[in-house]
Structure 1
C-alpha cells in the first residue's frame, strides 16, 4: 500500500520540533522566526538537508549587511558534489536522473551513474584544456541533458558557468558573453524549434569571432545543422571517457561563496547586468524554496517518485530552477522545444502530453503558458494520463484568477479536485523566491499564499514605511544567501548599488508592486515602474489585463501610462484580437465597460489600439517599460534590444505608432 504523501514543509517542521524544540502554531509564526532569527533558520536548513563540509564554518551569518552579508564562513561546498551525492541511493531504486524529449518525439533517459560518468569525463577534459577555478565557460546550448552535464562539469572544477539559449540572436548572446571574457565556449550547431530545423553553425562561428578570449570551442553536433563548424573539440568525445580516472573523480571542495554561475537581467535596456551567484548561496536558497515549493526526493520513503518538470529555455532562470531538482535527488524532466507546437499549427497541449507520457508529478510553466492553454481551449482530458501531477507551478508574470480557476476546473474533471498551485514570484537577480505558496494554506486564485521562508519581504509606501493591505514597493529588509556576490565588471559595486539599493540604502528594492493582505497572502501587480497611477489611484497592470483579457475576443493586451515628470496621465491600451476581428466601436465599449466594472472608471484608457502582437522578452514578460519609454520619445535603439525579444518583428509597428503620437502631440502643443 502506498504511504500517504506528507508535504515537505511539514516534514521540516517535525524535524524542528524534534531536533530544535521549536513549535509554531501557524505558518506566519514560522516565517517570522525564519526572518528574525536568521542564524538559527539557515543553520537549521544546513543540518536538516544533511549538508557536509570538510572544514567547519564559524557562523551561518557573520554579518547581515546588504550588500556584503557574510554567510557560512569557513565552510566548503560544491553544487555538483551535492547533486552527485544522490547517485547510489537514487540508482538503487531505479529512478533516472534525467528524462528528456524533443519536438520530434525522441526520448532519452540518463541514469544517475551515467550522469556522474559524463560529468566526470567532461570535467577531466576541461582540466586538460587548462581550465582553472574562476575561469568562465560560456554555453550556447538548448534544454537537453548535455547542457546539464556541461553545467555540472564546470561546477565540479570551480569554473564559472554561463548559458544562453540558441533561440537568441548573435548580438544578444555576444552582449552577454563578451562581458565575462570566457575561456571556453560550448555550443550547439543546430536546433529544432517550433516545427522547424534551424542551423546555428554560422551563429557559433560569429560568436567565436566576437569572443577573442575563447581558447577552446567544444561543439555539440546536431542533425539539424546545415553548416559544419570547424572545432578543436567534439562534445561527444569530451563526455565519452570511462576509465579509472572518471571512476575516481570527485568535485572540488570550494569556499562557500565561490562563484557558481553568471546569469543576466532581461537586457531590455542597455547591456544586461551580469549577476554572479555563489555555490553555497544557491544551494541554501534552493533548499528553502523546495521546502515551501514541495519538490521532493525521488527515492525518499515519503516520495511517490518525484518527476519534476518546469518548462523553460536555457535563457530563463527557471532552467536553473529545473536543474536544482537534482540537488534533492528528484528526476528532472526536460522538454526541448516550443510549448505551443509549430507556429503554422499551434498546439498548446504539447507539454501536457509530454507530462502524461513521462509520469510527471510536478508540472511548472510560465503564467503565460497557462493563459495560452485557456485561450486555445485546451481539454486536458484528451492529453493522456495526468493523474500523477500533484502540483502546478506558475511564475514569470502574475497568474490571473480566471486562468487559475480554469486550470483547477480542468484537473477537477480529471479526478484531482484539490490540485495545488505553487504560484511564485522571485527573480533572476537573486535566483530565488520572495513570495510563494504553501500546500496547507487556503488557495485563493490570483494570490500567492505567503512570503517565502527566509525572505523578509515587505510592502513599503512612498514614505518608506511598511504597509499591510495597501499596494507598495516590494522590498527585502534582510539578506538572502543567494543575493549576487557582485555584478561582473562592476567597479566599486556602483551598478549593483544603483540597481537594488538606490532608493532605500541597505534595503533591497526589487522593482515590483505588491499588496500583502492581513492573512499573509500576496498579490503582485507588475513592475513598479510600469504601474498605472490615475489621479492618485495606483493600479498594477496585471489587474487591467485580468479585466480585458477575460473577454473572449482578446488574445493579449499591454498597457502603458505616459505620466512622467509632472505630465498628466495618458494611458494607452494595446489589444491583440482573435483572427478576423476588428476593434470597432462595439468592442471598444465592451472593453471600457469591463475596465469600469472590474476596476474603476479612472482606468478607462485614453487610447485603445489594436496591435499585431504584444512585445515580450524571451522569458515571456510583456515589455511595458521599453514601449513606455519609446512613447516618451526615447531612441528605440536605446530602450530595447530586439535580440532579447521573443517577437522582435512587432517593434516596427510600435515605433511607427510612437512617432505618429509624438508628431500629433507636437502639433497640438504648437
Structure 2
C-alpha cells in the first residue's frame, strides 16, 4: 500500500512479543531517507518562512540534490554508519537536508533547538559522543537577535569526540568564526552532484536520538529506529490524518520537539512540508493564521495552549483570513478542552477534522489520535491509533472503562524506543516504563476510556490532584480556572504526601486590569465547587508573574511541588530545560517562608 522498499526481506513481523524486548521485522534492511526522498520531481517539498528569511520553496528534485551533496560532505568528514551527527539548528530547510543526509548514510541524527541553554545542550549531546556538529551563528525570535557563536564554541570545548563543526550563516551573511576550532561553512561542505548511495540498514538500526525534557534529571537519550519510525509515521499521517501528496502540511514546532521529526515525515507521503521559524505570537496570535492563509495550508498543526490562547484573546481568524483550504487541525502538547474544540470549528473552519493527539517523545507519535471515519466529540480523542493497544489501568492492574486510570500499552508498539543510549543493561529503560505493571508499558498519563471508545486525557499521573481519595488531572482544573476573564494562565499543585495533610495551591497570572481581591477568590471557589466538585476549591491562591514552563512549553508541575516540599531548586529541576527559570524564584521564596 505504501510502497515500502526493503533491500532484504523480513523473516517475521515480530520476533518476540514481549515488553521490553520486542524486535520488529528481523532480517529486513531499508533506509528511512530513501523513502523520504523517493520523489525527485518539481513537486514542492518544503515551504519555509522565518523572522529572518522571506518565504521560499524547495522542490523534491532540489531537496534530493542538496541531501546528496551534504551526504557526500559528511562522508568526506569521515562520518560512517552508526556515527552521531548533532544539530543546533532552527526550523529551516537546511536542517531537513542535514538530517536526511545523516540518515541516508546510516549515521544517527540528534537535535537541540537554538533556544536551549548551552549546559542543557551539552548534557544531551555529550551522552551520545557526536562526530559532527551542525549549527548556526545565531537566530531571531520575537524580533530580537540571539548570537549563538559562544554557545557553539562551548559545545566544541565540551564535546571531545567532535571532528568538525558545520556552521550555517543565518543571523549574519558572513559571521566571524575565528573563535571556533573546527568550523566549516555550510557552503564549503564538499559537493557531489551524483546520486545518493543510500546505506541499507537493519529495520531496527538507530535513526535518531530524541531526549526527554530533563526537568527532573539528566535527559534520557531515546533511540528510535529507521523502519520503526517509517511504519509509524506512514500509518499516522496517511491513515489517521488522511494526508497525501496534495496536502500542505504545517505543524508549528522547534527542532528540539518530537513534532519536528513528525513534521518532516510528511515527505514520506509526498506532501509539501511547511516550516515556520520564530515566535508564533509575534507580532500577535494571528501570525500563524496569516502564514496558513498565505501558503494555502491544508493541515494546520499546533498545540493546545496555542488554541486556548487564541480562544482567550477572542480571535476569529476565519474572518480575517481565507482558511477554507484547511481540512485538518492537529493539537497536542496538552489536553485540548471542549471549549477549544468549539473555538476551532466556530473560528477556523466548520468543515475539518480536528485531531487531538496524545503520545510522546518516547514513541515519536501518538498513542491516541484522530480518525477521518469517526465522529468528533468535544474534549475527547477519537480512537487509539492503529497498532497501539491502549488501556486505562487501576492501581491493581485491572483494565477500566468510564473511569480515570493509568494510560498503559498492553502490547508492543512498533515505534517504542529501541533503547536508551548508554543504558547497557536496560535498567533506566525498564524503570521509565515498566516499573508499575510487569510487561506493560506505563506512560505516566491519566486517561479515561469511554464506553464509545474515545479517550479523555487528564494530565500527568505524577501531578495528580487528590481530595478525600478522589483523583483529578490538572487539565480539568486549568480548563475551569483559565476560562475566567480575569486569568491569563495558572498552575495548580497538590502538596499532599510531602510532609503535611496536603493543601491545594493555585497560582494565577492575572489579566491586565484585574487583581486578586476577595470577590475573585469567592468566584474561584464557587466555580470550582459547581464545575468540578465541592472538594476542589483551592486552599490558597497566589498571584505570580508567569507560569514556569519547559522549553517545549509544558507547565512545570512536579518540580514546583518538589520545591514547595523543601527540595533544593537545583536538584528539583534542570534550569536549562526551562524557558523561564527565573519564574521559580517565587516558589523558592514561598517554600522558604513556610520553613
| TM-score tier (shorter) | over 0.9
2:506 paired residue number: 573
Matched-pair contact (CA < 8 Å) for 1:81–1:250: no
Deviations 1:366-405 (A, max 9, x none): 1111111122222203542211000000000001111221
Q: Matched residues in 2 for 1:515 and 1:102: separation?
A: 39
- The equivalent residue for 2:47 is 99
Superposed displacement of residue 624, structure 1: 0.6
Residue of structure 2 aligned with 1:260, choices 202, 207, 229: 207
User: What is the CA-CA distance between 1:105 and the residue it aligns to?
Assistant: 5.7
Q: Does 2:343 match 1:406?
A: yes
1:325 aligns with 2:266: yes
Contact (CA 8 Å) 1:78, 1:251: kept in 2 or not? Answer: yes
Separation (CA, whole Å) in 1 of partners of 2:256 and 2:320: 28
Does the Cα contact within 8 Å between 1:78 and 1:279 map onto a contact in 2?
yes
Deviation at 1:654, TM superposition (A): 1.7
Within a 5 Å distance, the mapping from 1:433-444 to structure 2 comes to: 433-444=366-377
**Compared CA separation, residues 295 and 149, structure 1 to 2 (3 A):** farther
1:666 match: none
From 140, 158, 183, give the equivalent of 1:232.
Answer: 183
The answer to whether the aligner puts 1:275 opposite 2:222 as a matched pair is: yes
Structure 2 SS opposite 1:602: coil
Tell me the SS of whatever aligns to 1:97.
Answer: strand
Partner of 1:284: 231
Counterpart residue number, 1:366? 303
Whether 2:69 is the aligned partner of 1:116: answer no
Q: Which residue of 2 aligns with 1:351?
A: 288
1:490 to partner: Cα distance: 1.0
1:468-490 residue CA offsets vs partner (Å, 9 max, x unmatched): 00100000011112111110111
- State the alpha-carbon separation in 2 of the partners of residues 313 and 112 from structure 1: 22
602-611 or 146-155: bigger deviation: 602-611
Contact 1:98–1:109, Cα closer than 8 Å, also in 2: yes
* Residue 196 of structure 2 corresponds to residue 249 of structure 1: yes
Using the alignment, how far apart are the partners of 2:340 and 2:86 within structure 1?
37
SS at match of 1:179: coil
- Cα distance in 2 for partners of 1:368, 1:565 equals 29
| Structure 1 position 556, deviation (Å) | 0.7
1:85 is matched with which residue? 38
Q: Does 1:339 align with 2:280?
A: yes
What secondary structure is seen at the aligned counterpart in 2 of 1:408?
helix
What secondary structure is seen at the aligned counterpart in 2 of 1:574? Answer: strand
CA contact (8 A) 1:200 1:225 kept: no
What's the TM-score, normalizing by structure 1?
0.86
> What is aligned with 1:33?
none
Query: How many angstroms apart in 2 are the aligned matches of 1:505 and 1:138?
Result: 35
- Counterpart contact for 1:198–1:225, Cα < 8 Å: no
2:535 partner SS:
helix
Deviation (angstroms), 1:566: 7.7
The correspondence for 1:65, drawn from 8, 18, 22, is: 18
In structure 2, list runs of 5 or more residues that go unmatched: none
Q: Residue 188 of structure 1 corresponds to which residue in structure 2?
A: 136
C-alpha contact (below 8 Å) 2:234/2:265 kept by paired residues = no
Does structure 2 retain, via aligned residues, the 8 Å contact 1:313–1:319?
A: yes
The question of whether the paired residues in 2 share the 8 Å contact of 1:262 and 1:276 is answered with yes
Provide the rounded CA distance (Å) in 1 between the counterparts of 2:441 and 2:173: 45
8 Å Cα contact 2:105/2:197 also seen in 1: no
> 1:124: how far off?
0.6
Asked whether the 8 Å contact 2:407–2:445 carries over to 1, the reply is yes
Q: CA deviation at 1:567?
A: 4.3
Displacement of 1:510 = 0.1
2: CA distance, partners of 1:218 / 1:332: 24
1:146 to partner: Cα distance: 0.4
CA-to-partner distance for each residue in 1:144-194, whole Å, 9 max, x for gaps?
A: 000000000000011110000001110111110111111111110110111
Q: 1 CA distance for matches of 2:551 and 2:166?
A: 25
Structure-1 separation of matches of 2:126 and 2:457: 34
Q: Offset at 1:565?
A: 6.3
Q: Residues of 2 paired with 1:224 and 1:640: CA distance?
A: 34
Write the distance in 2 (CA, Å) between the matches of 1:242 and 1:278.
Answer: 27
Q: CA RMSD in A?
A: 1.5
Q: Give the Å deviation of 1:56.
A: 1.1
Q: In structure 2, the residue corresponding to 1:466 is in which secondary structure?
A: coil
What is the alpha-carbon distance in structure 2 between the residues aligned to residue 133 and residue 279 of structure 1?
A: 13
In 1, Cα distance between equivalents of 2:299 and 2:272? 10
Aligned runs of 1:234-633 on 2, under 5 Å?
Answer: 234-238=185-189, 241=191, 243=193, 246=194, 248-298=195-245, 305-341=246-282, 346-411=283-348, 416-564=349-497, 567-633=500-566
What are structure 1's unaligned runs of at least 5 residues?
A: 1-47, 299-304, 664-670
The structure 1 segments of at least 4 consecutive aligned residues displaced by more than 6 Å after TM superposition are none
Residue 567 and residue 292 in structure 1: after superposition, are their counterparts in 2 closer, same or farther (change >3 A)?
A: farther
Task: Give the Cα–Cα distance (whole angstroms) in 1 for the partners of residues 142 and 242 of structure 2.
Answer: 29
Is the contact between residue 52 and residue 139 of structure 2 (CA under 8 Å) also seen in structure 1? no
Q: Secondary structure at the match of 2:514?
A: coil
Tell me if the contact between 2:87 and 2:110 (Cα under 8 Å) persists in the aligned partners. yes
Structure 2 CA distance for aligned equivalents of residues 615 and 544 of structure 1 = 17
Is 1:168 matched with 2:116? Answer: yes
1:323 is displaced (CA, Å) by: 0.7
Query: 1:19-69, CA deviations, whole angstroms, 9 ceiling, x for partnerless residues?
Result: xxxxxxxxxxxxxxxxxxxxxxxxxxxxx2121212111111121111111
Change (3 A) 1:417 1:112: same
TM-fit CA distance, 1:226:
9.4
Report if aligned partners of 2:528, 2:537 keep a CA contact under 8 Å in 1. Answer: yes
Give the superposition deviation at 1:580: 3.1
Q: Relative to 1, partners in 2 of residues 1:382 and 1:193: Cα closer, same or farther, differing over 3 Å?
A: farther
Deviations 1:265-308 (A, max 9, x none): 0110111000011001001111221244324222xxxxxx2000
- Equivalent residues of 1:198, 1:224 under 8 A apart: no
Shift of 1:638: 1.0
Q: Deviations over 1:622-650 (max 9, x none)?
A: 11111011111111001111221122221
Deviation at 1:252, TM superposition (A): 1.0
Deviation at 1:225, TM superposition (A): 8.2
**Aligned 8 A contact 1:292 1:452 in 2:** no
